[in-house]
Amino acid sequence: MIAEETKHSFGDPVKICLSAEREDIFADGSDTVFIDISVLDENDIPVENALNRIKVSVSGAGYLVGLDNGDSADTDDYKCDSRRLFSGRMVAAVRADTTAGDITISAYSEGLESASLTLTSEQSDIPEGISLTKDTVRITDDIIDIPIRKIDIICDTDTLTKDSPSCTADVVIHPGNASYDDIVCGIYTPYGVPSEAIEAVYENNNVSLTGKGDGEFILRISCSNGTDHQCVISEKKITCTGMGSALKDPYTMISASLFDRSSSPVNIVEANALSGFSRPIRVYFSGVDFGRAGSDSIILYIGNNRGHTVNIDVIDVCGNDERLIAALPAADNGRWNSYEPIEYTLPERLHGIHTLAFGISEAIIFGGFAAKGEDEAFALLYPAECDEIYGDDYKKDGSSITGIGNNVLININGIDFGDEGASGIILCGRTPNESNPIQLRTVHDGISKTQLLEFTHSDDHTEQMFTLEKLTGKTDVSFVFLPGSSFDFDSFRFIK
């Protein structure tokens, strides 16, 4: 056997350990020795992920030159007397002065058993050209700084199903007396892209998880220990099954790496973009929810270094049927390993839930897409896309509802009119009746109100405007068609 190394599991640190790289040190004003600083658990096993802040002092015939921990993200000054461990270790540089004697190094950390180490310097000739000025460190105030070193995620299951879509995970931090509680919780795809397929709510060291769509995901719990970056990360794989596809929100950027399928293999490159297309390809995204208001404005995130314009087809997919919405030109923008947003206006407004495919004919960078929306409360809305429709005498015709007869109820829930509110509504439709009364019922904060809209005779589809008692805040709205109604309902829009 040439060499052997043994690793042990470890618990929380209880004491500090100091060891010198060598015992001989000469009192010549320049000789420097490095002191290894680590922490041990109750079984004297090194705690290899400890982050404790250690305060170091040196007395006697030497002085502290500085501290280092090898952490490139640590912005603490080298020339100070305290620093955090990194991966359970740091070093102190101690220099002898020109007088022989004992040099005592002491280390202190809140909640840990302190440690000290004494070296004896030997008298030595002082080399010519050595400065006798001591390059001393900055003395810091005593602070209680006990960083989190480890996060455990304890959960009875790693699978959410349609019948059991929810579970709770316990979050255990180590050590238990840590000074920080800056815990952040998130759900990510295996590629590291944030996902809304699982709702995760963190509170009081517990995470409540609720699955919304099928797939494999990662629950990530992290903390920054008071810094501007994540210091400790813990992850657990969570699988959702039997729930169907999770809806995607196009009003925030949908990363290309969230695609559901593609017509040929793709590469996921920097910033979770797609590239490396060896042939024309279609990339499919299911469950894209444009909402009731919809959008006719789309943003594509493209990097094109081909030297010419590349067309990207936007395709609406319904089952096995695919319909071209638009062919959008992406000019050369010089981006060969990144992308930038390009905004387009589509020839039609997309409402509700769609499966979209993007047809890409050449090897460009495809970073993803987004839509530009407008305030739903004052957007053009369509009755067939409302939340609930009740009654026997009506017919859905695309986004319209035609042939509305007696006692038909159309509900749209939770429109947020804000503080400014809506003071009117425009209805588009037609009726053979001299007048077709429509009740507009609203419920806000549990208070119900009814206003009557008298839509007058029109053989053609026309817009008619009605003044309303102001509607504010989040409100449920219902259109109630009374006995004797005969109405074709095309659209409606609230106005301020």
87-108: pLDDT as tens digits? 999 999 999 988 899 999 999 9
Give dist(CA 59, CA 118) in Å, integer.
Answer: 9
Is 347 within 8 Å of 327 (Cβ atoms)?
no
The string over 458-491, giving b where at least 16 C-beta atoms fall within 10 Å of a residue's C-beta and e elsewhere, is beeeeeeebebeebeeebebbbbbeeebebbbbb
pLDDT digits (tens, 9 = 90+) for 177-187: 999 989 999 99
Give the per-residue pLDDT at 23: 85
Instruction: Report the C-alpha gap between 352 and 374 in whole angstroms.
Output: 14
Structure tokens at 403: 């042939």
* Neighbouring C-beta atoms of residue 11, cutoff 10 Å: 13
3-state secondary structure of 387: coil
Q: In what order do the strands lie in the sheet with 215-223?
A: 159-161, 232-241, 215-223, 183-188
pLDDT of residue 474: 92
The strands making up 32-40's β-sheet, listed across from edge to edge, are: 15-20, 32-40, 89-96, 62-68
Spell out, as residue ranges, where the chain has pLDDT lower than 50: none
The structural domains of the chain, ordered by start, are: 15-123 (2.60.40.10), 150-241 (2.60.40.1080), 254-371 (2.60.120.260), 378-495 (2.60.120.260)
pTM for the model:
0.67
- What pLDDT was estimated at residue 186? 93
27's CB contacts (< 8 A; 6+ apart) are 61, 96, 97, 98, 99, 100, 101, 121, 122, 123, 124
Residue pair 154/170 in contact (Cβ under 8 Å)? The answer is yes
Tell me what pLDDT residue 387 has: 86
**Amino acid identity for residue 215 in this structure:** G
The Cα–Cα gap between 427 and 100 comes to: 96
**Contact criterion met (CB below 8 Å) for 165 and 199:** no
The amino acid at residue 417 is F
C-alpha dist (Å) from residue 122 to 24, 97, 100, 215: 8, 10, 5, 68
CA atoms within 13 A of residue 49's CA, in its CB half-sphere: 16
